[in-house]
């Protein structure tokens, strides 16, 4: 059987700079930054005291209160993103067995477990909610999406750190291409803003300490970057068999044509300095898409704003594209929405799809100057572009790397 083509037809985005595709995209193009001082808990004694919080999220606008009582914030973010994605796609999928749900998350429902531990320590076992057992595992998010929409297809969750969302999309892409499902809801979700969970990243010295000016703290590829800024949210995409999408007259943002993933096999936190395995992931995705490196016309970078990570990523681009690496327009948007771990790769895949469909490449907010010897075309203003091929790149703790290739359908 011939491999099926895979279309992106719906974007469900719950982010610190906007909820819903339109709000998110408009905020991105306007340069809005969603980073500020943490309000979710007292971080006054922490080395890093900022985050990108979603301050206007109200799940009751999308879910009935009974369902809300049996879901924590992690699953609520996923359900709302799924509903928004289906609405955007104009698709009714309730009750179907040929639709899968594929999600990724670095931490799953860990922060809810942290809340319940506090209750347990104060009041004992009687204070622990039964919801705890149903919320902590990573599969809770796609399971709740499946329950909400009555979907009987495969429900797959991964915990592949900051590459989780991109890998979930890649897994769904492969499943549709092989004919295992006709459509999928795929992406990432993260709700990591709790005292211990957040604090553990500060102990690891992974996050920025630019507390006096949170809006400029996340600085992908900038020479003055000092660590990432944590965020929260969800990004789920509706993927469909391309022919089915065309038959129903769906708006198609882009086509996914390739996926690749590798592991540095080097260190749990520090990336392999030469970026060689990031290069391999990109090369694998390009080969999967039958696309040459010379055909890539724009990149949505991982760009986490960490000193080591960004440098290794630039080296990876040099390894794949050679001299062209300094001339391919790069969009790195974590300066605005920060780094929501497993959710961010899905946001960036959505941004890549919107770049192809809307002809606009968002700016890299807070980028001023790259490291010496690491020349890149990191756009500092929104650009009008007409690329045919965009590469979306993600990496995470554990040395996990993932790349997606998206093609224009216009």
The pLDDT of residue 1: 60
Radius of gyration of the chain (CA): 20
In which element (H, E) is residue 405 found? strand 400-407
Active site amino acids: 162, 302, 339
Q: What is the pLDDT of residues 62-116, one digit of tens each?
A: 999 888 888 999 999 999 999 999 999 999 999 999 999 999 999 999 999 999 9
Q: Which residues pair with 37 in a beta bridge?
A: 50
Return d(Cα 172, Cα 167) in angstroms, integer: 9
- Looking at the chain, the domain(s) classified CATH 3.40.47.10 span 6-247, 258-407
Q: Which two tokens mark 299?
A: 């990149």
The pLDDT of residue 372: 87
CA distances from 344 to 72, 160, 373 (A): 20, 12, 28
pTM score: 0.98
Q: Which residues pair with 171 in a beta bridge?
A: none
* Cβ–Cβ < 8 Å for 86, 131: no
The pLDDT of residue 69: 87
The pLDDT of residue 40: 95
Q: Which two tokens mark 116?
A: 């319940």
Q: What is the pLDDT of residues 186-239, one digit of tens each?
A: 999 999 999 999 999 999 999 999 999 999 999 999 999 999 999 999 999 999
| Orientation of helix 110-123 relative to helix 73-89, angle to 10° | 150
Q: Which residues pair with 99 in a beta bridge?
A: 183
The pLDDT of residue 410: 83
User: For tokens 């703290």, what's the residue?
Assistant: 217
CA distances from 328 to 156, 287, 334, 353 (A): 34, 19, 19, 17
CATH architecture under which domain 258-407 falls: 3-Layer(aba) Sandwich (3.40)
User: For tokens 């038959």, what's the residue?
Assistant: 247
Task: Give domain 6-247's CATH number out of 3.40.50.10490, 1.20.1260.10, 3.40.47.10, 3.40.1190.20.
Answer: 3.40.47.10
The pLDDT of residue 207: 97
How big, in percent rounded to 5, are the helix, strand and coil portions of the chain? Answer: 40, 20, 40
Q: Which two tokens mark 247?
A: 């038959």
Return d(Cα 80, Cα 13) in angstroms, integer: 9
Return d(Cα 153, Cα 101) in angstroms, integer: 7
Per-residue pLDDT of the chain (410 residues; tens, 9 = 90+): 679 999 999 999 999 999 999 999 999 999 999 999 999 999 999 999 999 999 989 999 999 988 888 899 999 999 999 999 999 999 999 999 999 999 999 999 999 999 999 999 999 999 999 889 999 999 999 999 999 999 999 999 999 999 999 999 999 999 999 999 999 999 999 999 999 999 999 999 999 999 999 999 999 999 999 999 999 999 999 999 999 999 999 999 999 999 999 999 999 999 999 999 999 999 999 999 999 999 999 999 999 999 999 999 999 999 999 999 999 999 999 999 999 999 999 999 999 999 999 999 999 999 999 998 888 999 899 999 999 999 999 999 999 999 999 999 98
């Amino acid at each position: 059987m011939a491999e099926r083509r895979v279309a992106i037809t719906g974007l469900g985005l719950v982010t610190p700079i906007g909820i819903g595709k339109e709000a998110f995209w408009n905020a991105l193009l306007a340069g809005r930054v969603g980073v500020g001082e943490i309000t979710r808990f007292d971080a006054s004694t922490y080395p890093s005291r900022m985050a990108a919080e979603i301050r206007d999220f109200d799940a009751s606008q999308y879910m009935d209160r009974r369902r809300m009582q049996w879901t924590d914030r992690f699953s609520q973010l996923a359900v709302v993103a799924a509903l928004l994605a289906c609405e955007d796609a104009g698709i009714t999928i309730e009750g179907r067995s040929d639709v899968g749900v594929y999600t990724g998350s670095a931490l799953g429902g860990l922060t809810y477990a942290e809340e319940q531990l506090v209750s347990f320590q104060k009041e004992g076992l009687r204070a622990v909610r039964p919801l705890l057992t149903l919320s902590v595992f990573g599969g809770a998010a796609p399971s709740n999406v499946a329950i909400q929409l009555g979907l009987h297809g495969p429900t797959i969750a991964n915990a592949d750190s900051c590459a989780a969302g991109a890998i979930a999309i890649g897994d769904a892409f492969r499943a549709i291409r092989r004919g295992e499902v006709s459509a999928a809801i795929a992406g990432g979700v993260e709700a990591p803003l709790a005292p211990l969970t957040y604090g553990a990243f500060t102990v690891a010295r992974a996050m920025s300490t630019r507390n006096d000016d949170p809006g400029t703290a996340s600085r992908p590829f900038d020479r003055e970057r000092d660590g990432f800024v944590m965020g929260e949210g969800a990004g789920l995409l509706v993927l469909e068999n391309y022919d089915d999408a065309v038959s129903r007259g769906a708006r198609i943002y882009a086509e996914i044509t390739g996926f690749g993933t590798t592991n540095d096999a080097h260190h749990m936190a520090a990336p392999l300095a030469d970026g060689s395995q990031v290069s391999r992931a990109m090369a694998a995705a390009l080969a999967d898409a039958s696309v040459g490196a010379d055909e890539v016309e724009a990149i949505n970078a991982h760009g986490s704003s960490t000193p080591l990570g960004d440098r290794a990523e630039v080296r990876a681009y040099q390894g794949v594209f050679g001299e062209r690496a300094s001339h391919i327009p790069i969009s790195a948007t974590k300066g605005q929405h920060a780094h929501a771990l497993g959710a961010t790769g899905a946001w960036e895949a959505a941004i890549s799809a919107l770049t192809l469909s809307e002809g606009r490449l968002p700016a890299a907010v807070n980028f001023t100057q790259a490291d010496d010897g690491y020349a890149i075309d990191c756009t500092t203003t929104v650009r009008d572009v007409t690329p045919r091929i965009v590469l979306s790149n993600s990496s995470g703790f554990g040395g996990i790397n993932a790349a997606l290739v998206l093609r224009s359908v216009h």
